[in-house]
Structure 1
Amino acid sequence: MSEADRASCPYPAGAAETVHQLDADFTQNPFPELERLLEAGPVHRVRLPNGVERWLITRYDEVMAALADPRLSNELGRGLQQVLPPEPLPPRWQVTLRTSKLLGRAMANLDPPDHDRLRKLVVRAFSAKRIEGMRPRIQEITDELFDALDGRAEFDLVEAVSNQLPITVICELLGVSAADADLFRTAASVLGGMQADDEAARRTIEALDAFDTYVRGLVVARRAAPGPDLFSELTKVSADGQSLTDDELVSMAGLLLFGGYETSAQLISSAVLSLLREPEQLALVRADPALLPDVVDEVMRHEGPVNPGLNRYALEDIEIGGVTIPQGSYVVLGVATANRDPRHWPDPDRFDVTRAATAKQLGFGYGLHYCIGARLAQLEVEITLGTALRRYPKLRLAVPADQLSWRAGSVRGVRELPLRVD
């Protein structure tokens, strides 16, 4: 990474003696390095594979405390103005600003009281009853995707199912036509990926601009003629005389898209992969499909897509585990390491769908910012996994697991998952 590129990355405030480099192979298998950091201490400065430096909190107790600490803000844009390089901004920095503007008014990126107002407005739209009522339609979509594979001895699950089901569900939720689903899929992909070069950054900005324009048109259309979809409901919802603004609706759509598509897509693939790598665990689930919810929970703990963790911004100097994180620093709450902390998880590197609940896995967050779409993601994974196991008694990997390639970005998952069914 050049000095010019490094200057365009937001650094933690202050100085530290040691910066731990997470190399290019980190995405392929991050857990050995994360385990080393976890055992070395609860807080470290790290340089991510894309060259950006962060403070990383590794241990379960410290991560749990940080998730509830109001001094660690979800409003990541607070520190951007202080670290912006001189004009003209490099394309990757333009992506950072564009993403911040697009998602800045989403409740996941806000602190109280703004967060509380927005969550109060939308939480009813994601009631357990409503999500469970979607089960028949999700099953129908899943069946259609697998029906299209009839007669094929081998297929890529990522392309055929994982990338298709969540985007279809989100688009139907928002009242987006199937013809426009590709626009949403492209926007979700660029939100979750890293920018390989300036040209990729420019394509990302174009995709986000197109998404913004489309959703603003959708807002106007749904305000004028509401339908039965979730987005129509969000345009009408109000509490204490307040409703969602246009900017908040755009950010909410972006949040639903990113959280509801990218995370779910990677989780579906990781769930199938995790079971196929562990024949004994696979046999248990085949014998008792009631274990499917436990599979999802264990996959989130053992191989969750949020890796290394959730981002925060330090509003003041914060001491954690004997280390002072300076005001103005960007911090990663290491849910991936916390979910394998041996202080709370016996034999934490073992994938075990019958694992006793000794702690709560943090893959969906915790407390105030617990993922509002968590149950929808769980339901999609349960239905996909259950359907695949019923249809394919001989389901297996078409290539060795160590030959799979994992995508880089804030959401980790396999690029392809070739399966055989004969």
Structure 2
Amino acid sequence: MTTVDDPVAAAERCTPEFRRNPHPVYASLRDTAPVCPMRPPHGIDTYLITRYEDARAALADPRLSKDMYGAMDAYRRIFGDSSVALDDNMLNSDPPKHTRLRRLVSSTFTPRRVDSLRPRIQDIVDTLLDNCATREPVDLLTAFAFPLPIIVICDLLGVPPDERSELQRLSTTVAQTGFSKESKQAQQKAEENLHAYFADLLSRKRSRPGEDLLSALTAAQDENGGLTEQELISTAFLLMFAGHKTTAYLIGNAVHHLLTHPAQLRAVQENPELIGQTVEELVRFEGSVESATFRFATEDVEIAGTRIPKGSLVQIALSSANRDPLKFDSPDELDVTRPANAQSAHLGFGHGIHYCLGAPLARLEVQLALTGLFSRFPRAALADPGREAPWMEVPFPAFRGLAELPVVLKPAVP
């Protein structure tokens, strides 16, 4: 592993100022060090990629592996031994394993299945907003943005309603873990409990299959057979975790930025047909996944004139790539009327073989959430518009989301 002599980028990315607004730091790195060596809090030398074209190419570069077993020592140092049991899935694998796992999952996660969820998602949106209407102000994260995707993904997976709150609590513990001994112990316990839960749930699905995704996965087969027990458990965890956490933060970010950009909100309220491209622009402007999950170099790789030695970890800053002025005009401006071809070029859902399988579901949820919220409460406003947005603090930039979103819900004037 190469030694990083100048960890300035990592230091800047761990400050409260950066968490409040990372974009000036990313802009500086794009200009001065587009492939920047750094040492994050986990202590393993890493290269950060910040420009759009470099990021897009890196996301599809087979020399930058996602196979966690190929970088097992580094993986264990960052995430701990207990994470391995939950991470044997398509996100952490390369072809041919990745191809097989994704094919088996995508065969039960089709666009038709996603579109069939539209009435159910609309019903969830309406019910949650009914409950929000009785409170003022209301934290839209806890009352709306988080419940919506957790209900949707648990419905899809077939998780019983009375087991969902504990599942969400455990996944939150995993997502917010830090590097202290106490945090690592809490993470390990949560991961062990999640592993045991999904093993038990999948056993129940085999005995009493239903019309849900996990039941379908237990029966899914291709020419090479089906998913192993470990792959089933890990895939169930991945779908649950990725299916609600990122979407919840994206809904929160979207509401916050529309409320702080009233002209953009008014444009989509007056032109409902803009909702699709509005969501794409919001993902570009402030997506919920700040950096792609780790990759490691299986050989020496040169990007933008910088040599990344074999064995190094690589992190791709999606938030930075999505505001690269070499790709997007006026990238620091939110513009819901931005040409659709420019909006769809964003990397908020990734690129290449690891492009987010759940992107169509996330898009549908955010579209229905925003349409429902601002149709029901067209005069909604931040409860304290002068207060600085409380962005969530994380051990290293992976998610980008608010810690809370207090809003006063105002219906249309009679």
Q: Which residue of 1 aligns with 2:315?
A: 332
Aligned-pair CA distance for 1:177: 0.9
- Aligned pair partner of 1:62 in 54, 61, 68: 54
User: Cα distance, 1:392 vs. partner?
Assistant: 0.6
Task: Render the CA deviation track for 1:130-187: whole Å, top value 9, x for unaligned.
Answer: 1011010011111111111223231000010111111111111111111110222123
Identify the match of residue 113 of structure 2 among 130, 155, 163: 130
1:380 and 1:52 map into 2 onto residues whose CA distance is 36
1:420 aligns with 2:403: no
User: Which of 91, 94, 101 in structure 1 is aligned with 2:85?
Assistant: 101
TM-score (normalizing by structure 1):
0.91
CA-atom RMSD in angstroms: 1.8
Does structure 1 conserve the Cα–Cα contact (< 8 Å) formed by 2:34 and 2:51?
Answer: yes
Distance 2:82 2:400 in 1: 22
Q: Using the TM superposition, give the Cα deviation of residue 374 of structure 1 relative to its aligned residue in structure 2, in angstroms.
A: 0.6
Letter in 2 for 1:97: D
Q: 1:114 aligns with which of 97, 122, 127?
A: 97
User: Is the CA contact 1:38–1:58 (under 8 Å) kept in the aligned structure 2?
Assistant: yes
Give the whole-Å Cα distance in 1 for the aligned partners of 2:15 and 2:42. 8
The answer to whether 1:360 aligns with 2:345 is yes
Residues 249, 211 of structure 1: alpha-carbon distance in 2 compared, 3 angstrom cutoff: same
Q: Equivalent pairs: percent with the same residue? A: 38
CA–CA separation in structure 2 for the residues paired with 1:82 and 1:204: 17
In 1, distance between residues paired with 2:139 and 2:179? 24
In 2 relative to 1, CA 413–149 (structure 1 residues): closer, same or farther, beyond 3 Å? same
1:98-247, aligned counterparts within 5 Å? Answer: 98-103=82-87, 105-195=88-178, 197-247=180-230
**Which runs of 5 or more residues in structure 1 are unaligned?**
1-12, 86-92
Mapping 1:4-83, distance limit 5 Å = 13-20=1-8, 21-22=11-12, 23-25=14-16, 26-48=18-40, 53-81=45-73
Count of residue pairs the alignment pairs up: 401
Distance in 2, Cα, partners of 1:336 & 1:393:
29
Letter in 1 for 2:23: F
SS where residue 186 of structure 1 aligns?
helix
Matched, 1:268 2:259: no
CA distance in 2, matches of 1:287, 1:50: 47
1:284 and 1:49 map into 2 onto residues whose CA distance is 42
Distance in 2 (CA, whole Å) between partners of 1:310 and 1:81 is: 16
Alpha-carbon distance in structure 2 between the residues aligned to 1:82 and 1:196: 14
Shift of 1:16: 3.9
Q: Tell me how far apart the structure 1 counterparts of residues 44 and 269 of structure 2 sit (CA, whole Å).
A: 43
CA contact (8 A) 1:183 1:211 kept: no
Question: Residue 243 of structure 1 aligns to a residue in which SS?
Answer: coil
TM-score when normalising by structure 2: 0.92
| Aligned-partner SS, 1:56 | strand
Q: Distance in 2 between matches of 1:16 and 1:201?
A: 25
- Residue 218 of structure 2 aligns to a residue whose secondary structure is helix
- Check if 1:304 corresponds to 2:287: yes
Give the drift of 1:81: 2.2
Rounded to whole Å, the distance in 1 between the matches of 2:68 and 2:21 is: 27
SS in structure 1 opposite 2:37? strand
In the aligned structure 2, how far is the partner of 1:46 from the partner of 1:190? 26
Offset at residue 15 of structure 1 (A): 2.7
Taking a change above 3 Å as real, the CA distance of residues 49 and 344 of structure 1, as seen in their structure-2 partners, is same
Moved more, 355-364 or 344-353: 355-364
Which residue number in structure 2 is paired with residue 369 of structure 1? 354
Write out per-residue CA displacement over residues 76-130 of structure 1, whole angstroms, 9 at most, x where no aligned residue: 3422326867xxxxxxx5x432223311x21111100000011111112121111
Equivalent position SS for 2:107: helix
